[in-house]
């Protein structure tokens, strides 16, 4: 667009916004660079007098520093994964969706498109989860990020401190970033404490190192408190196989809402994020199970022949054993269900008058 046109100003504004999004990352990076100088130069090289203490502290510090920077880098620059092409509507389905009035006719189009997809969750009204910005049927646990303006697989949240969405592709890296940043801060605070006390009580002469060592302790202690609460919260999420978004809005399955619908037990939940090979657990390399589009669930797995019943509900309750869900999971996910002899679940009885997927009054609900 020519200079001064609304489109040109819009492009400039978007570029400025993208630059501003990097400010928190630059802030963390500058704090990290200063802490390196303060700890290595001012504390270890210029203040510590014991050679053995210097060597041990420098070796341990650089190990924690490397793991911290590595995991932070991976969290920032690992691109969030988006739904695969099988979840995007075909050209004919898009045209049909645009022609049909909002309501049951649109849901019929979406049901046809999602017929062979491994989808178990619904909107609050029981409709197929559809993104009208990306034009795709949303996989389970997928949400549209308003900042990235795209659908993110197993989205947890958009984190300004890494200028990236935290989701399936980098959630393990984000956890390790929290863990190693906490260890980094605790190590600095523990080894800096005695010198902080000496400077505070005038046990050491005033030098240039005094400011760096005292402020280093305050910064490490302050970040340790905030990081410990955040890391503890995400450890709890991993143990329950939940995302931050699912804590605030429990996933709604075809038969009912269940806040623990994806939980398979502590051990299997841990393997969902960290993988089966323990040698990779502490390294910021991708080892999570699956492809982010399908997930094992502990809930009843509906019989495909009953997909046409209202709301995906059966008129009578039943107990059945299923080795696999009705719609296929990826190979790396389904083995979590077959570790035990079988999964025995009970479906809920349909409530009278409950709004179902075939209710003519049903309107399509778009989630973000």
What digits encode the pLDDT tens for the residues 27-61?
999 999 999 999 999 999 999 999 999 999 999 99
Residue 51: the pLDDT is 95
Specify whether the CB–CB gap between 80 and 337 falls below 8 A: no
pLDDT at 87 over 80: yes
Alpha carbon of residue 91 to chain centroid: 31
107 half-sphere exposure, CB direction, 13 A CA radius: 23
The percent of residues in the chain predicted with pLDDT above 90, rounded, is 60
The percent of residues in the chain predicted with pLDDT above 70, rounded, is 78
Residue 307: the pLDDT is 39
Alpha carbon of residue 102 to chain centroid: 32
Catalytic residue, chosen from 57, 142, 151, 159, is 159
Sign for the pseudo-dihedral over CA of 280, 285, 291, 295: positive
- The answer to whether residue 159 is catalytic is yes
pLDDT at 240 over 90: yes
Tokens matching residue 98: 């645009």
Tokens matching residue 10: 């819009």
- From 316, 322, 327, select the one nearest 253 (Cα to Cα): 327
> What is the three-state SS of 187-215?
HHHHHHHHHHHHHHCCCCCCCHHHHHHHH
Q: What is the DSSP letter of 310?
A: G
Residue 163: the pLDDT is 95
Q: How confident is the model at residue 76 (pLDDT cuts 50, 70, 90)?
A: very high
Helical (H) or strand (E) element with 363: none
Tokens matching residue 301: 């797995």
Rounded to an integer, what distance in angstroms lies between the CA atom of residue 251 and that of residue 256?
9
pLDDT, mean of residues 254-270: 91
Helix (H, G, I), strand (E, B) or coil at 241: coil
Tokens matching residue 119: 């989808």
Q: Which residue has the higher pLDDT, 23 or 107?
A: 23
For 291-304, write each residue's pLDDT tens digit. Answer: 999 999 887 444 33
**Beta bridge partners of residue 253, listed in sequence order:** 121
pLDDT at 231 over 60: yes
Q: Which residue has the higher pLDDT, 305 or 250?
A: 250
What residue spans of the chain are helical by DSSP H? 6-21, 23-36, 51-77, 91-99, 104-113, 171-200, 208-240, 244-248, 266-274, 331-334
Report yes or no on whether pTM surpasses 0.75: yes
**Beta bridge partners of residue 252, listed in sequence order:** 122, 257
How far is CA 242 from each of CA 58, 106, 269, 297, rounded to the nearest angstrom? 38, 30, 9, 12
Specify whether the CB–CB gap between 124 and 365 falls below 8 A: yes
């Amino acid at each position: 667009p020519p200079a001064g046109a609304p489109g040109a100003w819009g492009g400039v504004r978007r570029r400025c916004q993208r630059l501003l999004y990097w400010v928190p990352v630059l802030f963390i990076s500058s704090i990290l660079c200063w802490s390196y100088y303060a700890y290595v130069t001012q504390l270890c090289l210029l203040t510590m007098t014991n050679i053995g203490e210097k060597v041990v502290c420098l070796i341990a510090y650089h190990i924690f520093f490397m793991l911290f920077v590595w995991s932070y880098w991976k969290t920032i620059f690992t691109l969030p994964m988006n739904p695969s092409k099988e979840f995007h509507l075909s050209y004919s389905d898009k045209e049909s969706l645009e022609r049909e009035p909002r309501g049951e006719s649109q849901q019929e189009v979406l049901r046809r498109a999602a017929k062979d997809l491994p989808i178990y969750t619904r909107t609050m009204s029981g409709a197929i989860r559809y993104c009208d910005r990306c034009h795709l049927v949303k996989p389970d646990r997928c949400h549209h990020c308003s900042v990235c303006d795209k659908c993110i697989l197993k989205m947890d949240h958009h984190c300004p401190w890494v200028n990236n969405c935290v989701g399936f592709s980098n959630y393990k890296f984000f956890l390790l970033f929290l863990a190693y940043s906490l260890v980094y801060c605790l190590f600095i605070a523990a080894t800096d404490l005695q010198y902080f006390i000496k400077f505070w009580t005038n046990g050491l002469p005033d030098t240039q190192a005094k400011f760096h060592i005292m402020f280093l302790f305050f910064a490490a202690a302050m970040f340790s408190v905030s990081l410990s609460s955040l890391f503890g919260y995400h450890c709890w999420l991993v143990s329950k196989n939940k995302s931050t978004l699912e804590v605030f809005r429990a996933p709604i399955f075809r038969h009912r809402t269940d806040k623990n619908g994806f939980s398979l037990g502590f051990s299997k939940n841990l393997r969902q994020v960290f993988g089966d090979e323990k040698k990779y657990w502490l390294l910021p390399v991708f080892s999570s199970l699956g492809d982010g589009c399908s997930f094992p669930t502990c809930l009843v797995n509906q019989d495909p022949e009953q997909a046409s019943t209202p709301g995906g509900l059966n008129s009578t309750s039943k107990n059945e054993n299923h080795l696999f869900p009705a719609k296929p999971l990826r190979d790396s996910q389904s083995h979590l269900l077959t570790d035990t002899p079988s999964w025995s679940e009970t479906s809920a009885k349909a409530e009278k008058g409950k709004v179902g997927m075939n209710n003519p009054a049903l309107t399509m609900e778009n989630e973000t």
